[in-house]
Every structure is written in C-alpha cells, then in structure tokens.
Amino acid sequence: MQIYLPIAEVSVNAFLLLGLGGIVGILSGMFGVGGGFLMTPLLFFIGIPPAVAVATEANQIVASSFSGVLAHFKRKTVDLRMGTVLLIGGLVGSGLGIVLFNYLRAAGQVDLLVKLCYVIFLGLIGGLMFIESLRAIRKSGKGAPPTRRKHTWVHNLPFKMKFRVSGLYISVIPPLIVGVLVGVLAAIMGVGGGFIMVPAMIYLLGMPTKVVVGTSLFQIIFVTAFTTMLHATTNYTVDIVLAVLLLVGGVIGAQIGTRIGVKMKAEQLRILLAMMVLLVCGKLAFDLLVQPAELYSIGTEGGH
C-alpha cells in the first residue's frame, strides 16, 4: 500500500516503513540503543530527503526514549540532577547544530556533513565495541578482577556539584561539554546520541552503569524534542505521517526485541551490534569513496 508523505512529498510503501520501524525496533530492544543511527541511514536508502529523514527521526526518538524512561523511573535508575546538567549542555549544542545544519544546507553540503558524521561515529563506536566484545568473549570464564574507579583529571576541575543518585562529587564542566557535543550530533545526524552518551558517561564521568541508560534516555527526550521543534519551525521538515508509521513498527519491535535480548549472552549481543554498525558505516563510506553513477544532483534551495 503506497502512502504519500505530505512533507517529504514522496510516495512510499507503508508496509516497508512499518517493517523498517519493526526491524530497527527489535534491534534497539535487543541492544538497548535508540536505533536512530540505523534508521536515519535506512531512510536515506529508501529515498526520503535527508533533511526530512533527520528531522522526523528526532521526533521518533522522543517516542522510543519516553517509552524507555518510564521503565527506568519505576526502577529509580534516573539521575535527575545529572540529567538536567547534561540537558542544559544538550540544548545549547542542539541550537548550535541547527545553525550549522542550516548554513550547510544553503551551501549544498548538508548530505556530505550528515554522511561524514555517520561514517566517523559509526566506524569509531562499531570498531571499539567489536574489539571490546572480542576481548570479553576470550576472557569469559577467567573472571577478571573488579577494577576500582580511579581519580582522573576530570575530578580536579572547578564548579563541583554533588550527584547523589550517581554517587559522584564532580565538576559540572565535563557533563556540560558531553551534553553540548551530543546536542550538536542530535541536530545534525537525527540521532538521540545514546551510543555516544553512554560510553562517555561511564568512562569519562565515571557514573555507575545502572543509572547511565535511564539518565541518558531522560535527557535525550528533551534534546530530541527541542531538535524536533527547531526543525519544525525553521525548516518545516518534520513529516508526521512518516513519524507515525515508524513509531508503530518501532514500539512493537522494541518489545519483541527485549524478549529476544534476554535469551542471548551479552557478549554475543554486543558483537552482533558492532558488526551491524560497521556494516552501515561501510555502506556509507563506500558511497562516499566510489565515483557515483550520477555526478550531478538537484537542490531546490537557491543561493550558494
């Protein structure tokens, strides 16, 4: 069944979108990631204009993060204070990201920027995760000794603040910077940024793993909601019909994925996710490096 998307102004198969939403939902349920980093490139592949894909995906992430954060609130694994500090940084970053996005859109370079961001970040995260999970599989059985949290340069910065839920007493500067960076990426890439935020919170801020996912989801809701509003009011590129189709598939898939995830080993899951991330990265990199069949492209925005 073909559906005409009013904002994207293209006609696509509704079942294809439901299916894509479902598959990405299953994966996000299995691996505990938002799935934006997979969905946005998939939307490019099926011919949704990049500007619409990025803006609409931000809206979809609001839904999936909201669904996720409710579960974390019940388990009391959300550090609201840390979340708020990250959020302040995130809103600033998101505003900067939109300015950059619009500037490059006028210059005709937005596709390149979005794709480059994807190649770099997917390559980095995928590669690191792949190596780390290979190591974990090799180690399994030996039982590595637990390491104590060390004091790093992060703990010597001014403006210290107490984060009771995380059990931390650190400067607000590192969380603010992390927030800004993730905000910029959220605006440019149409992702929640969980896949960057989570490692940064664990390794850079030293937060306990159990509060990381809930806190990250909490702040992602607000940053992506803000991004959605900015895209909707400045670019008019949020396609609500597209968002709803992806949402329906996504929320159902996520619940199925959670059940599959429970039955698999953590290392196996991570290595599968790493391989998938590297696959998407490889496809995008291939398109940038190999001479395209059509060297010309048409843009509707005038000016240089």
Distance of CA 282 to CAs 118, 217, 243, 299, Å?
A: 10, 28, 26, 26
* Secondary structure class of 191 (helix, strand, coil): coil
Whether the CB-CB separation of 28 and 64 falls below 8 Å is answered with yes
Among all chains, which residue has been given the structure tokens 């939109």? 98
Rounded least distance, CB 121 to other proteins, Å? 16
Inter-residue contact 50 to 110 (CB < 8 Å)? yes
Residues interacting with other proteins, by CB under 8 A? 1-4, 6-7, 9-11, 59-60, 62-68, 70-71, 108-109, 111-112, 116, 225, 228-229, 232-233, 236, 238, 240-241, 243-244, 247-248, 251-252, 254-255, 288-289, 291-292, 294-304
CB of 192 to other proteins, least distance (A): 12
The two tokens of residue 52 are 């619409």
Residue 267: CB minimum distance to other proteins, A: 27
Residue whose CB is less far from other proteins, 2 or 147: 2
For other proteins, the closer of residues 203 and 236 by Cβ is 236
Using the minimum distance from each CB to other proteins, give the nearer residue, 116 or 137.
116
Query: Shortest Cβ distance from residue 146 to other proteins (Å)?
Result: 32
CB of 142 to other proteins, least distance (A): 36
Give least dist CB 49 to other proteins, A: 11
At 162, list the tokens. Answer: 């107490």
Q: Which is nearer to other proteins, 144 or 298 (CB)?
A: 298
Nearest-Å Rg of the Cα atoms of the chain is: 19
Distances (CA, A) of 126 to 214, 254, 278, 280: 22, 21, 5, 10
* CB-nearer residue toward other proteins: 173 or 225: 225
Least distance to other proteins, CB of residue 166, Å: 24
- Distances from the Cα of 215 to the Cα of 102, 148, 175, 218, 245, angstroms: 29, 22, 12, 5, 27
User: Which one, 117 or 154, has the nearer CB to other proteins?
Assistant: 117
In the block, tokens 């691996």 appear at 31
32, 258 contact by CB (below 8 A): no
Q: Please classify residue 295 by burial: count the beta carbons closer than 10 Å to its beta carbon, then call 0-12 exposed, 13-18 middle and 19+ buried.
A: exposed
- For residue 37 the two structure tokens come to 């980093």
Please state the φ and ψ torsions of residue 161, each to the nearest 5 degrees. -145, 150
CB of 3 to other proteins, least distance (A): 6
249, 256, 283: which is closest to 13 by C-alpha? 249
Nearer to other proteins, 77 or 133 (CB): 77
Specify the residue, 61 or 129, whose C-beta has the smaller distance to other proteins.
61
